[in-house]
Amino acid sequence: MTMIQTPAAEMSRSAADLLARARELAPTLRERSAEIEKARTLPLDIVETLRAAGVFRMCFDQEWGGLGLTSMEQTEVVEALAYGDASVGWCSMIGANLGIYSRFIDQDVARAMFPNPDMIVAGLLQPSGRAERVPGGFRLSGRWPFGSGINHADWIISGAFVFEDGKPYASPDGSNPHESRQFMVPRAHAEVIDNWHTTGLAGSGSSDYTFTDVFVQEEHTFSFDKVYGAPGPLASPDAFTRAMCGAPLGVARAALDYARDIALTRMDRMAGKPWAELYRVQVALAECEADYNATRAGVYAAMTREWDVLTAGGTLDDLAPNDRAAIPVSWVHAFRMSRSIVSRLYDLLQTWSILQSSPMDRWMRDTATMRQHLTAQDLILQSAGAYLAGGTPAFGICLGIVK
Amino acid sequence: MTMTRTPVADVPLTAAEVLARAKALAPKLRGRSAEIEQARRLPADVVELLREAGVYRMCWGREWGGPELTSMEQTEVAEALAYGDASAAWCGVIGANSGLISNFIDPDEVPVMFPSLDLATVGVLAPAGHAERVPGGYRLSGRWSFGSGVNHCDWVMSGAFVFEDGEPYASPDGSNPHESRQFVVRGDEVEVIDNWHTTGLRGSGSCDYTITDVFVPENHTLSWDNVKGTPGPLAQPDSFMRSLCGVPLGVARAALDYAREIASTRVDRMSGTAWADLYRVQVVLAECEADYNATRAGVYSSMRRQWEVLAAGGSLDDLTLNERAASPLSWLHAFRTSRSIVNRLYDLLQTWSILQSSPMDRWMRDTATMCQNLTAQDAILESVGAYLLGGKPKFRICLGIVK
């Protein structure tokens, strides 16, 4: 157990600073992976180290005390942390999204809610709860699965369907026969059900949680179709999902580096040759490297194009259809390809991979679990495909379509 | 250690009886999978269940009073057991080797070594040990990895290189500059190193074991090119490898049945459509079923063809080039396709798969580990490819080539 000590004075001042800090942390995180898994949640000293390094302020703009990272820079930070430990990368991204959600909340209210930029958010946005309209706000109840990072969060964001007098509430503008909204609730009101017993990403502590008849004032609720903060690339309904694919990309890079290190030292006993001279090893490593390069480039190219258009004052509607579809498709691709790369390298190292002391074993499990996240599902492909073909996307928000 | 084990009461005497008992055992094994995993070896009473089902006696010839299952029937037993629990099936198939190796041991010595047909023989055949020639036999030392079932066996068979006066010993007929043989020692003559900490196939207890300077009489050693019993399809150097692929096939069938059962009850919340009516579900289930059918048919058809030729008094050399190559390829294909089927069904069921309470989770881990067995390695493809091209197969025994 290596305690990570981070004096507050070392708070990152820029994106480059934070990225360097994330890279420095990675080896320690790797050493503590077994402990993180075992805890089935991030140990508190690691949370505080991430906080002190400025990870959770990366999505807030400078005038809020944040670091104002672009989506590309955020993704790089997540990659660097996931290079050390996938669960840490995962929870970092999710926890840092407060700086994105704050843009959809009345700005005076948001400043009161988030007095410092280092607060951590967790929660599930898919509407799984029930919110009854009452004077001044809502009464929220429900059970949400997959609350990654909930054990160490300050705020919980949860999607819920809105009801009035017990009946489904339709949006006044007629856009939605049954409205759903996001509800921000202080962590203390949530009850966590300790049920995150998974084989992969075990350290993410993605347990179920419940709210029971909690009053949420109107101003603490929001919808992604109404921006209150300064317009810009992060005030976009897809912004909070962009950097998530940094987690699988970081793991893939870690596995590639690890497998190459091993290959450099190993001898094939039967053939009497170093692994470095074996066709099988050479081809598998190179093929995985090619897949990694293309996948990562696909993610950053789509993200950069979107960023450029949004920064210039455009909207997602100003992207060419292929460019718009490229964004969510690149996420799916990163999750899936990363798992495929890890699987192939796992097989390359054969029985050296199967022991729990091998990081390859953990990466195999982590990428299998990550791949079940919504961002990596066929639902995203269906939505992008439907969008391109002029059909009906089942999950429009992955394309930034919220109406 | 029970060398004088009394015969099991009410033993099954026919192939049909053994298969029926294996099938009846499967639900019981499934119910105990979590416990089997946790123990990292088969619990003693599970070993006895396998024994009572006739699994350990299934390879014994009728001349010894055994049920003499064909390789196809043995594979069916492996499938049936693996449908319940992969580790139990794995150890069952390996433990059943007693009857196969009896074909390579002096018939006078067989009843001495095997007073009961229900003894389990396990071990690692790769020549990892050192055997020094001494009067009347050998002194054997070494460390072997992956001794599945070594905790509960009666006999352990291990491969070792032969030395004489400390120098490599060449076969007298000039066929081999450094001879290797198989050495059979009692289970209590090995020391088990408790190092089987894996993610998959955990219950197989495939620990390393050591043997230190143990005297092995000449007639407890064997070589695959020297049949001492009655010639026949099971008195062949590849016979002990044939039925192991029943394990992945059984797991694939279990996963297919499980996924179909889940799919038939689930409704997609977003669209309100029954899973049974979803394109995605229909196509994945059907595609996996097609792969399973073809893979399984490939295993049984090559095995049956080989059996016919051998049963008619032929040798493996009487098979056509393609027929001989088909057997090891079909084993490899069964391992890899089963894993692919399990992974696709795991993804189909999405987050329902990731919890450790889901059998899909265990099957994902079991098939990932199984695929690192030599039978599923590229070395098999390389060897078969070399054989088909007239090159030099690296791992000839998979083709039944021992000279």
How would you write the pLDDT of chain A (403 residues) with one tens digit per residue? 444 544 444 688 899 999 999 999 999 999 999 999 999 999 999 999 999 999 999 999 999 999 999 999 999 999 999 999 999 999 999 999 999 999 999 999 999 999 999 999 999 999 999 999 999 999 999 999 999 999 999 999 999 999 999 999 998 888 889 999 999 999 999 999 999 999 999 999 999 999 999 999 999 999 998 999 999 999 999 999 999 999 999 999 999 999 999 999 999 888 889 999 999 999 999 999 999 999 999 999 999 999 999 999 999 999 999 999 999 999 999 999 999 999 999 999 998 899 888 999 999 999 999 999 999 999 999 999 999 999 999 999 899 887 6
Q: Which of A209, A202, A91, A97 is nearest to A152 (CA)?
A: A91
Q: What span, in angstroms and rounded, lies between the C-alpha atoms of A110 and B267? A: 39
Q: What span, in angstroms and rounded, lies between the C-alpha atoms of A251 and A248? A: 5
- Confidence (pLDDT) at B260: 94
- CATH number, domain with residue B303: 1.20.140.10
- The H or E element spanning position B180 is strand B180-186
Q: Using the 3D structure, point to which of B113, B138, B167 is the last residue of a domain.
A: B113
Instruction: Examine the domain organization and report whether B174 and B62 are in the same domain.
Output: no
- Confidence (pLDDT) at A11: 83
Instruction: Examine the domain organization and report whether B105 and B132 are in the same domain.
Output: no
- Confidence (pLDDT) at A94: 98
Give the tens place of pLDDT for each residue, B164-205: 999 999 988 888 899 999 999 999 999 999 999 999 999 999
Give the tens place of pLDDT for each residue, B39-72: 999 999 999 999 999 999 999 999 999 999 999 9
Mean pLDDT for B271-277 is 92
What DSSP string runs through B74-89?
HHHHHHHHHHH-HHHH
- Confidence (pLDDT) at A402: 78
- Its sign, for the CA torsion A349, A354, A357, A359, is positive
C-alpha distance from A292 to closest chain B C-alpha (Å): 21
Q: What span, in angstroms and rounded, lies between the C-alpha atoms of A235 and A238? A: 9
CB contacts < 8 A, A to B, total 70
- Its sign, for the CA torsion A46, A51, A53, A57, is positive
- Confidence (pLDDT) at A3: 46
Q: What span, in angstroms and rounded, lies between the C-alpha atoms of B257 and A145? A: 27
Domain ranges of chain A: 8-104, 121-222, 239-399
Within a domain: B156: yes
Within a domain: B3: no
C-alpha distance from B128 to closest chain A C-alpha (Å): 11
User: Domain A239-399 belongs to what topology?
Assistant: Butyryl-CoA Dehydrogenase, subunit A; domain 3 (1.20.140)
CATH number of A8-104: 1.10.540.10
What DSSP string runs through B280-296?
HHHHHHHHHHHHHHHHH
Within a domain: B274: yes
Instruction: Examine the domain organization and report whether B202 and B289 are in the same domain.
Output: no
Number of domains in chain B: 3
- Confidence (pLDDT) at B5: 54
B392 touches chain A (CB under 8 A): no
Give the tens place of pLDDT for each residue, B97-139: 999 999 999 999 999 999 999 999 999 999 999 999 999 999 9
Within a domain: B227: no
- Confidence (pLDDT) at A9: 46
B355 touches chain A (CB under 8 A): yes
A85 vs A5, A131, A202, B179, CA distance in Å? 18, 36, 11, 48
Q: What single-letter DSSP state applies at residue B218?
A: G
- Domain of residue B37 covers 15-113
- Contacting residues of A for B145, CB less than 8 Å apart: 351
- Contacting residues of B for A365, CB less than 8 Å apart: 199, 365
Q: What φ, ψ does residue B130 adopt, rounded to 5°?
A: -125, 120
Instruction: Examine the domain organization and report whether B78 and B162 are in the same domain.
Output: no
Within a domain: B2: no
- Contacting residues of A for B200, CB less than 8 Å apart: 354
Within a domain: B228: no
Q: Chain B 54-113, CB below 8 Å of chain A: which residues?
A: none
Q: What span, in angstroms and rounded, lies between the C-alpha atoms of B302 and B326? A: 6
C-alpha distance from A117 to closest chain B C-alpha (Å): 32
Q: How many CB atoms lie within 10 A of CB B359?
A: 17
Within a domain: B231: no
Instruction: Examine the domain organization and report whether B106 and B67 are in the same domain.
Output: yes
Mean pLDDT for B372-384 is 94
Q: Using the 3D structure, point to which of B172, B190, B222 is the last residue of a domain.
A: B222
- Contacting residues of A for B332, CB less than 8 Å apart: none
Q: Which of B197, B280, B361 sits opposite A357 (nearest CB)?
A: B197
pLDDT above 70 (res B7): no
Euclidean distance between the first and the last CA atom of chain A, given in angstroms as a whole number = 49
- Contacting residues of B for A395, CB less than 8 Å apart: 270
Please list, residue by residue across B301-339, b when 16 or more beta carbons sit within 10 angstroms of its beta carbon and e when fewer do. ebbebbbebbeeeeebeebeeeebbbbbbbbbbbbbbbb
Is the CB of A197 less than 8 angstroms away from the CB of B356? yes
At the fourth CATH level, which superfamily is domain A121-222? Butyryl-CoA Dehydrogenase, subunit A, domain 2 (2.40.110.10)
Is the CB of A353 less than 8 angstroms away from the CB of B372? yes
Within a domain: B108: yes
Mean pLDDT for B360-377 is 96
Cβ atoms of B148 and B123 within 8 Å: the answer is no
C-alpha distance from A372 to closest chain B C-alpha (Å): 5
Is the CB of A198 less than 8 angstroms away from the CB of B355? yes
